[in-house]
């Protein structure tokens, strides 16, 4: 064993960083090869060599993770807080200190960190890669948008898209207030707005945003930014609909549906979407949620309209709050997949 402490060259932690990205940074600061550092952490499969962090993730056993914390002279809990793949269930099984490059698809994406975060906390190594549920991430501290297929470091500067930044913040407030129910309605709203975008990507409002930010209007990786404001308007409309249904658990819900369709019709009209096209995903969403009976409200609530919880449809009952939007959504298409039919 090398036996050398890594604490003499401290490495700053970045929340959500991948194991691979972190180990490349540690090795760079210590002036050693990543393969050498991995050998210090434990045993690996014969012939496996280190891969760059944008290509793959490396998984460690609990003993190897503890050994890394000891070499860095930091509490193991602190290291596991920063690196989500050092927590269960992502640790390799067994008591032996070992590591492995998994060939199975990860449950999360490897997304580049904001270029300013990398410059401030990366120790001069270069790009850092994060473990994230989505293919994209917004850095609220520096106002940058990054995604898995971006060309070069840095990310998209969001100062030119204040409406998208505001929508992102409002989404956070909505999800914090309504919890998992809010998260699934946001997912559904993105699926509705994304369906519209796939049918009409050159809609003037979205094309104008793309031009303002220096983006390609048909780029599916950055389209999340373009539709974000409208997706939040849709989410709010879906939320109001489910709150109205919750107030009338036994129905009728025709008036609530009419109000929802009227709201979305007004939004589609402002976007100048094709008249016969925009209602298609709305009808699909209503058909799926109409089959589900609203939950009876807890009598312990205040009863004020603003406190009414939205319905979490049965089709969403097994969803996880931190799952990707595509997994939370009840609709049968993945508009963010360029190879999927919508």
- Distance between start and end Cα atoms, the chain: 55
Half-sphere exposure of 329 (CA within 13 A, CB side): 23
- Residue 185 near residue 205, CB atoms below 8 Å: no
Instruction: Return mean pLDDT, the chain.
Output: 85
In this predicted structure, the answer to whether residue 316 has a pLDDT above a threshold of 80 is: no
Question: Long-range contacts of range 257-264, CB-CB < 8 Å, 24 or more positions apart?
Answer: 257/286, 257/290, 260/286, 263/237, 264/192, 264/234, 264/237
Q: Structural domain boundaries of the chain? A: 19-158, 161-328
Q: In the prediction, which pLDDT does 250 show?
A: 75
Q: In the prediction, which pLDDT does 248 show?
A: 82
Burial of 172 (0-12, 13-18, 19+ CB in 10 A): middle
In this predicted structure, the answer to whether residue 111 has a pLDDT above a threshold of 90 is: yes
How many Å apart are CA 119 and CA 174, to the nearest integer?
Answer: 32
pLDDT band at 324 (very low <50, low <70, confident <90, very high): low
The pTM (predicted TM-score) of the whole model is: 0.84
How many Å apart are CA 76 and CA 74, to the nearest integer?
Answer: 6
- Give me the DSSP letters along 44-94: --TT-----TTT---EEBHHHHHHHHHHHTS-HHHHHHH-GGGSTTSSBSS
How many Å apart are CA 157 and CA 211, to the nearest integer?
Answer: 13
Angle of helix 279-290 relative to helix 162-199, nearest 10 degrees, comes to 90
In this predicted structure, the answer to whether residue 170 has a pLDDT above a threshold of 90 is: yes
Nearest Cα neighbor of 57 from 28, 16, 117, 96 is 16
- Per the document, the length of the chain is 342
Q: Could you tell me where the DSSP H helices lie in the chain?
A: 19-30, 34-41, 62-72, 76-82, 115-121, 162-199, 204-213, 223-247, 254-271, 279-290, 325-328
How many Å apart are CA 6 and CA 27, to the nearest integer?
Answer: 9
Query: For every residue of 279-301, which 3-state class applies, written as one string?
Result: HHHHHHHHHHHHCCCCCCCCCCC
- Residue 110 near residue 53, CB atoms below 8 Å: yes
Helix (H) or strand (E) holding 109: strand 109-112
Cα 310 from chain centre: 22
pLDDT tens for 25-35 read: 998 888 889 99
pLDDT tens for 217-265 read: 999 999 999 999 999 999 999 999 999 988 887 778 899 999 999 999 9
Q: In the prediction, which pLDDT does 306 show?
A: 44
DSSP character for 318? T
């Amino acid at each position: 064993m090398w036996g050398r402490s890594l604490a003499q060259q401290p490495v700053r932690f970045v929340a959500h960083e991948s194991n691979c990205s972190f180990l490349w940074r540690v090795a760079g600061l210590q002036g050693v090869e990543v393969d050498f550092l991995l050998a210090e952490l434990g045993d690996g499969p014969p012939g496996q060599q280190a891969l760059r962090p944008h290509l793959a993730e490396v998984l460690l056993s609990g003993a190897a993770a503890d050994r890394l914390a000891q070499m860095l002279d930091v509490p193991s809990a602190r290291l596991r807080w920063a690196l989500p793949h050092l927590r269960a269930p992502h640790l390799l099984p067994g008591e032996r200190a070992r590591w492995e490059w998994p060939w199975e698809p990860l449950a999360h994406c490897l997304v580049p960190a904001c270029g300013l975060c990398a410059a401030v906390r990366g120790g001069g190594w270069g790009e850092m890669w994060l473990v994230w549920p989505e293919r994209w991430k917004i850095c609220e501290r520096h106002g940058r948008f990054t995604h898995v297929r971006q060309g070069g470091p840095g990310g998209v500067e969001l100062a030119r898209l204040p409406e998208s930044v505001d929508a992102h913040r409002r989404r956070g407030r909505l999800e914090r207030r309504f919890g998992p129910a809010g998260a699934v309605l946001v997912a559904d709203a993105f699926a509705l707005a994304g369906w519209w975008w796939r049918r009409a990507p050159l809609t003037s409002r979205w094309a104008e945003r793309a031009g303002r930010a220096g983006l390609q209007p048909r780029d599916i990786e950055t389209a999340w930014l373009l539709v974000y404001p409208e997706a939040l308007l849709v989410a709010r409309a879906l939320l109001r609909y489910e709150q109205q249904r919750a107030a009338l658990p036994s129905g009728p819900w025709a008036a609530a549906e009419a109000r929802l369709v009227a709201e979305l019709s007004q939004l589609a009209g402002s976007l100048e979407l094709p008249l016969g096209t925009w209602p298609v995903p709305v009808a699909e969403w209503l058909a799926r949620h109409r089959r589900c009976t609203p939950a009876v409200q807890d009598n312990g609530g205040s009863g004020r309209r603003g406190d009414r919880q939205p319905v979490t449809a049965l089709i969403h009952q097994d969803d996880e709050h931190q799952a990707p939007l595509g997994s939370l959504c009840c609709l049968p298409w993945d508009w963010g997949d360029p190879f999927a039919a919508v």
